[in-house]
Structure 1
Amino acid sequence: MTPDQFATGPSSACPAHSGRLPLYGPEFAADPHGTYAALRRHGGAAPVELAPGVPGTLVVGYQAALDVLRDPIRFPKDPRRWQANVAPDCPLLPMMGYRPNALFTDGAVHTRLRSAVTASLAQVDSNVLRGWVETTADSLIARLAHVGQMDLITEYARVLPLLVFNSMFGCPSVIGDRLVQGMSGIFEGIEAEKFNMILGEAIMELVAYKRANPGPDVTSWLMAHPAELTDEEMLSQLVTLIGAGTEPVQNLIANTMLLLLSDDRFADGLSGGSLSIEDALDEVLWMDPPIANYAATYPPKETDLDGVWLPADQPVVVSFAAANTDPSLASDVRAGNRAHLAWGAGPHTCPAQSHGRLIATAAIEKLLDKLPGMELAPPPEGLQWRPGMFHRALTALPVRFPPVSVPAPVPVATENPPAPPAPLAMPERPDFSDTERPRWWRTLVGWWRGQ
């Protein structure tokens, strides 16, 4: 297929988008797998419209996705040549625009930045992390167990990762609330520029706070790493780490709970059958991964992928959801199968996948243990999905259960208790005037805005 043919696409595709199927809007959110099935007629990669007026390529084949993810020479991560030719208010830029972090770099720069990330994450003790999750889960459940109903999104799955990551990153809750608000907004791509500024200012405040209050947390460990991250690098690393640890973990918890409560295979398994919570997680990571389409790359020249020619300097986005459900895969066994691409592959494989899986597993175990008899309030077909191509996320997940009395958790003394996070006493948002803000703050705000 030639580049011209690729840009035109099959005559059966939507003429309103010049032959490119759109990856946005309520229709795509309601049935993304229908779009993926239509795109497979092109082969392993297909022309799409990523946002109104923004063309790109979506990789829908499993082997084609591996070829892209494992080859940073042909498929580099730096988007700046593409970015120079899109409008500054493009809703994709908060998620796909260049940031000097491990996600958007390759080679020696990527190695240096990723070393700081992996070393900092390695200092998070898994037992301490599980303790944070379980204590947080117990507190959230105790507040609502007597009511007999809750929305698992707003009252549990969205709150729990935020509180856990506040501890991991030494982040005051007044900052953490706005981190999640900003991150959720840029995932949806609605008013993305506004939410990008909310996110950026919140992270700048976190960096300023941790400089004054270093502690045993990921933010402080990143600052102290021998890679000597610059202000811009520090800010950008935190965007990626906190983004990967809140919105996607929320969706992994919610999507797994939906599967457990709606699929008889897993409902039976929870009552003593053969399918476990871990099996349900694997199924979700295969079929409905919380990050559905991402890992954008930007070929510097026209490139052949699986017999399809890709234009130069145009985004090539990997669809983890489509690749995982590629009909050409030899086996459809999901339980215990970790060959899915939900965490990526190659040099940019997610470095926090064990942390994310631990948080989701412990959060789900607590729900099912403390609230037996839980069931969906509406039928599964009555649930709605949030817009946005990047994630697979429910708007709400209402459940009901027999009301129970669950006492608030009491901290358990240990012989060697983990050191607490840095003090989080920060009663209100810092309110610096322009003259009071540090010079590095003003510089970063300008950089964040592209000035």
Structure 2
Amino acid sequence: MTLRYLPDAGRLYGPEYARDPQALYAELRGRHGAVAPVEIAPGIEAHLVLGYRAALDVLTNVGGVWSKHPSAWQARLPDTPEAAGAIAMLGRRPSALYSDGAEHARFRKVIADCFQQIQPHKLRQMVIEVSDSLISQFAAKGEADLVAEFTRLIPTRIFNLLFGRPDSDSAGLTQALSDLMEADGERGARGSDAFSRYIGELIQAKHAERGDDLTSWFIDHPAALRTDELAETLVLVTAASYEPMANLISNTISRMVSDDRYYSSLTNGALSTYDALMEALRAEPAMSNYGPYFVLQPVHFHGTWIQPAELVLVSYAAANTEPANVPEELRSDGGAYLGFGAGPHRCPASDPAVLIAMTAIERLTSHLCDLELTVPRDELPWRPGPFHRALAQLPVRFTPIRPDQPGESPWAVQPPSSSTPSAPTSPARSAGYVTSAPWSS
């Protein structure tokens, strides 16, 4: 059974949308107002919340009218490859993203409690070491694709270590996620299998021997997650770190190196890395349309009737840039952006995310202080897709740095060892990146 047809739906896919999503948001806003009909893939329809006030009404009122449970919507989808792709991103899982009320509070407390145990100064040192080791691999060339060589590698390297695995395991995780995110068919299936294997081996290792790491803390938390809940929590944390963080770092860098307000030579601009990051969160949030919601009964919401089992997505990108509510000038204080969501499902790890992104960007720009794009920013290629705002490439050039030249270089700090044995003992523990959880015996 299919859902009712939503007339005049905008398409959140294809090259035209990828080039200029804001043009579509403006067109939809002009035709429909705060809520518009869209297709996220051929034949897969949704309501897209475009207005800032409407977005807040959804995000902050879960439990009365709104629910996160996708089961009824999922059951009514057609048996098509497009539907299978939508289910992969939005289908029911036992995790914080797809639960309400007490169930959601239980999942969220596990994540929030465990992330609070990470010491910020130790996390920053970890990011410095990982960033410098990546920069050292291309600094002597004078050019790089920062997406492939830097920004998409940062999250997997960092979270592999935070999960309590040796740095040598991060390459496999990066490849698995790349295959899973970038392709369907055989390559996508291979990535899915490899990612499932990584999660399974991680859980097995940490059940065998704990360390001072996120995985061990998830296992030992008083909420007592079942094995399937633990696996889904690790999947959620990985997914929430990989794609959004890589995109946030890429989008921020692309703004900095193409806007003289941030720098003329990356060292004398009037605005800071934090300013650029906040502007990226507002104008080009890494996950532009997500936050799946469903109504519990028919609702007339901001001028649109929404029925149970119809998918509702929040457009953070459209809401943040709505002309009537969010000023167009730079909001250096973070202002009214919804880059991390709002309400009970707001990202519980936004502070570590900002710290990781800022530290990685600052290491890059301090070592390579004359970065410039090799093409104009409006010609950069963007990856198609309804959910993310993601650069496909970020080609830059810069003055090469040699390892034997005077002064500080990316080789000044030793990177995490890639030869660490793949053992249950956490490398993060020995390095002192985290501190013992308050519920630890």
> TM above 0.5, one fold?
yes
In structure 2, the partner of 1:140 is 134
In structure 2, the partner of 1:60 is 50
For the aligned residues, what is the CA RMSD?
2.4
Contact 1:151/1:397 (8 A) holds in 2: yes
List runs of 5+ in structure 1 lacking aligned partners: 10-18, 413-419, 428-451
1:322-362 C-alpha deviation (Å, 9 max, x unpaired): 11011111533422234210100000000111111101100
Moved more, 26-35 or 130-139: 26-35
Out of 370, 378, 386, which is 2:375 matched to?
Answer: 378
Q: 1:330/1:144 Cα in 2 relative to 1: closer, same or farther (>3 Å)?
A: closer
- Give the Å deviation of 1:269: 8.7
User: 2:58 matched to 1:71?
Assistant: no
Give the partner amino acid of 1:78: H
- Give the Å deviation of 1:244: 1.1
List runs of 5+ in structure 2 lacking aligned partners: 403-408, 424-441
In structure 1, the partner of 2:256 is 260
User: 2:99 matched to 1:105?
Assistant: yes
- What's the secondary structure of 2:85's corresponding residue? coil
User: 2:384 matched to 1:399?
Assistant: no
Out of 311, 314, 322, which is 1:315 matched to?
Answer: 311
Give the partner amino acid of 1:378: V
User: 2:285 matched to 1:295?
Assistant: no
Out of 81, 89, 93, which is 2:87 matched to?
Answer: 93
In structure 1, the partner of 2:19 is 30
4+ residue runs of structure 1 moved beyond 6 angstroms? none
Give the partner amino acid of 2:411: A
User: 2:156 matched to 1:162?
Assistant: yes
User: 2:193 matched to 1:202?
Assistant: no
Give the partner amino acid of 1:65: A
- What's the secondary structure of 2:388's corresponding residue? coil
Q: How does 1:46-57 map to 2 (within 5 A)?
A: 46-57=36-47
Give the partner amino acid of 1:58: L
Q: 1:88/1:174 Cα in 2 relative to 1: closer, same or farther (>3 Å)?
A: farther
- Give the Å deviation of 1:369: 0.7
Q: 1:366/1:330 Cα in 2 relative to 1: closer, same or farther (>3 Å)?
A: closer
Q: 1:51/1:175 Cα in 2 relative to 1: closer, same or farther (>3 Å)?
A: farther
- Give the Å deviation of 1:400: 0.7
Out of 28, 32, 53, which is 1:39 matched to?
Answer: 28
In structure 2, the partner of 1:409 is 412
Give the partner amino acid of 1:260: M
- Give the Å deviation of 1:212: 2.1
TM-score by structure 2 length?
A: 0.86
* In 2: Cα distance, 1:280 partner to 1:269 partner: 15
In structure 1, the partner of 2:436 is none
Contact 1:176/1:202 (8 A) holds in 2: no
1:69-122 C-alpha deviation (Å, 9 max, x unpaired): 111121100101111122375211121011101110011111111111111111
1:392-428 C-alpha deviation (Å, 9 max, x unpaired): 111111111111223523459xxxxxxx99x95239x
Q: How does 1:230-249 map to 2 (within 5 A)?
A: 230-249=226-245
* In 2: Cα distance, 1:164 partner to 1:219 partner: 14
Out of 6, 12, 21, which is 2:10 matched to?
Answer: 21
Identical pairs, percent: 41
Contact 1:139/1:409 (8 A) holds in 2: no
* In 2: Cα distance, 1:143 partner to 1:214 partner: 33
